[in-house]
Every structure is written in structure tokens, then in C-alpha cells.
Amino acid sequence: MLDAPLRRRTLLRIVSAGGVIALAPWPSGCGNADPSGKPLARFLTPDEYRTLEALAEAIVPEGEQIGARGARSLDFIDFLLAAFDNDPPAIYARGPFSGRKPFPAADGGPSPDFPENDFETYRPLTRMQEHSMRIDLYGSESVSGGNINAPLVPAWPGLRAIYRAAAATLAAGAEAQGYADLAAVPLAERLGAIEATSPEFRSVFPVNVLQGMFAAPEYGGNADAVAWRDYQWGGDSQPLGYTFYDPATDTLRDNPEQPNQTLDPRWPGRPLEPEVEAFINTITIVQGGQRFF
């Protein structure tokens, strides 16, 4: 019996473990919500979204492991671009816990009690954080003092303008080639389209796509933590962690399912694929290192 009142996520886990309902905490495309349950604001138009998603798909294609489209990287980007339309701005999830892992039980192992999801709400920003993120999204003109170092530091147009312009460029390029939109361009040819976009877009887009794939699901991408699983990374593990402290014996022991001290037989690591191995071999030679086998 639990002494503590059942928390919402405990209940969900118990019910789902019993097979009564399938747990789907982040229905596809819904993304996060503020405490009132309101979905996060979006910025991109459906057409812009579709165009950019088509490019994201070319950067990390679908396959045996999830790609950018399946992981919903564009939701992540869309929420970022509209972050200031939420109150507080949807920039920094609050924490400390997401509710994906339970509290430890008395012997240090997992308890049936899961914390609330504190990643679903956001922190108020400090003055410096707000200035910095506003410049990032709306450009250096948007904040008093944002251009203080011009021309030594060139003006920054802001991610919203950068994304909007890129979406238009990409759509126009596809049309000029006779396609209805970028999504209609064969995957193998899509990557080339990025060359027509601004240097700023070319440098931020792959980064944002990958952040969307591998950030915590509450930020909008990595739906149901699929990318963490597919690419064999543990994700957030608190408050359980990987070692369990047992006060009765005053010892720390490994989580038997996800050991800290030994090889994890479930995730022993995929062998380096030949192209990857060849690349690492080249770095090793260039750096004057050694290949041991």
C-alpha cells in the first residue's frame, strides 16, 4: 500500500501497466501545454511547416531509427519560434522531474510513485535571459541595446525572420522546378535546396532539427521519447537515477536493468558502420593517433 496520496502520473503508470489504457502522454502533434492545458503557441503557417519539415526529413531521413519527421522536430522549432507568445515564454522547462522515472523506494529501487511532470511548465526569464532570447528570436533591433556592438557584431535578423524567409525561398525553388512544394521533391534532391537559403538558416536549421529530435519531449519533438530509445540514450533519469542506495546495508547497487558500472547487455553499442569507421580512421591519422585493431 502506498502511504502517499497517489499522484497523477503514478495512476497513469499503474493503469497502463495493467493494460487498461495505452499511455500516450504527448499525442502526436499536440506538443506541450501551459498549466491551464492550453497548447503552446505556434508561429509557422501550415505551408511553411510542411516545407520546412520536408527539408528536415532530408537532413535526418526516416528508416529503422526515427528521423526528423517522425520525431516531430518541426513542432519543436515551431514552438521555439512562438516561445514568447506563451506566459511565461516557453524557453526553459521548469524541472526538476519529468515523471518519466519514479521516485526511489525505501531500498533505493524504483517505487510505484512517479513525480508530476515539471517539464510541462516554464520558468520566468531574468532580464538578461529575456534580452538574449528576444534577440535570438526577433533580432537585435528588437531590444534596446541589442545592436550595441554594431558594426563589430553584425545585426542579427532573428530566427523568426530567418525561418520565414527560408520557407519562402524553399517553396519558390521547388515551384520553379515544377513541383507543387518541397515535400514533392524526391528526398535525394531536397538537400540541395538549402543552398538557396541564407547562411544563417543553413547554420541554425540542422542544429534546431537535431535539438528537436533529442531534447525532452515536452519541448515538442522527440515524441514519446522515441529518438532516445531508437538511438540508445537513457534520457532524463531522475529522481531514480542509475544507482540505488540501500540504507539497511549502507550500500549502493546498480540498477539491474540499466547498469552503471558494467556493459549494458541490452544496449551494448552498435558496431561502427564502415563509413563511420573510415572517418574516425582518417581523424586518427590526421591527429597522429593510433588504430589498435
**Binding residues for another protein restricted to 109-148, rule: CB under 8 A:** 118-119, 123, 126-129, 131-133, 135-136, 140, 143, 145-146, 148
Place of cell 533505493: 108
> Nearer to another protein by C-beta: 45 or 279?
279
Cβ–Cβ < 8 Å for 212, 75: yes
Q: For residues 169-198, which are near another protein according to CB under 8 A?
A: 191
3-class state of residue 117 by DSSP: coil
Candidates 247, 248, 256, 257; binder of another protein (CB under 8 A) is 247
Which is nearest to 169 in space by CA: 52, 78, 61? 52
Candidates 40, 210, 223, 225; binder of another protein (CB under 8 A) is 210
Cβ–Cβ < 8 Å for 159, 80: yes
> Nearer to another protein by C-beta: 114 or 244?
244
Candidates 43, 214, 223, 225; binder of another protein (CB under 8 A) is 214
Q: Which stretch binds another protein (CB under 8 A): 5-13, 31-39, 53-61, 161-169?
A: 53-61
Q: Which residues contact 94 (CB under 8 A, 6 or more apart)?
A: 118, 119, 121, 122, 123
Q: Should residue 207 be labelled a site residue for another protein when binding is judged by CB under 8 A? A: yes
Which phi and psi angles does 251 have, rounded to 5°?
-130, 155
Which phi and psi angles does 207 have, rounded to 5°?
-65, -50
CB of 45 to another protein, least distance (A): 25
CB of 46 to another protein, least distance (A): 25
Distance CA 219, CA 231 (A): 18
Q: For residues 215-234, which are near another protein according to CB under 8 A?
A: 215-216, 219, 228, 231-234
Candidates 50, 168, 211, 226; binder of another protein (CB under 8 A) is 211
Q: Which stretch binds another protein (CB under 8 A): 12-20, 23-31, 38-46, 150-158?
A: 150-158
How big is the site for another protein, counted in residues (CB under 8 A)? 95
Which is nearest to 76 in space by CA: 31, 34, 121? 31
Distance CA 133, CA 75 (A): 19
How many CA atoms does the CB half-sphere of 252 hold within 13 Å? 7
> Nearer to another protein by C-beta: 47 or 270?
270
Q: For residues 258-277, which are near another protein according to CB under 8 A?
A: 258-264, 267-273, 275-276
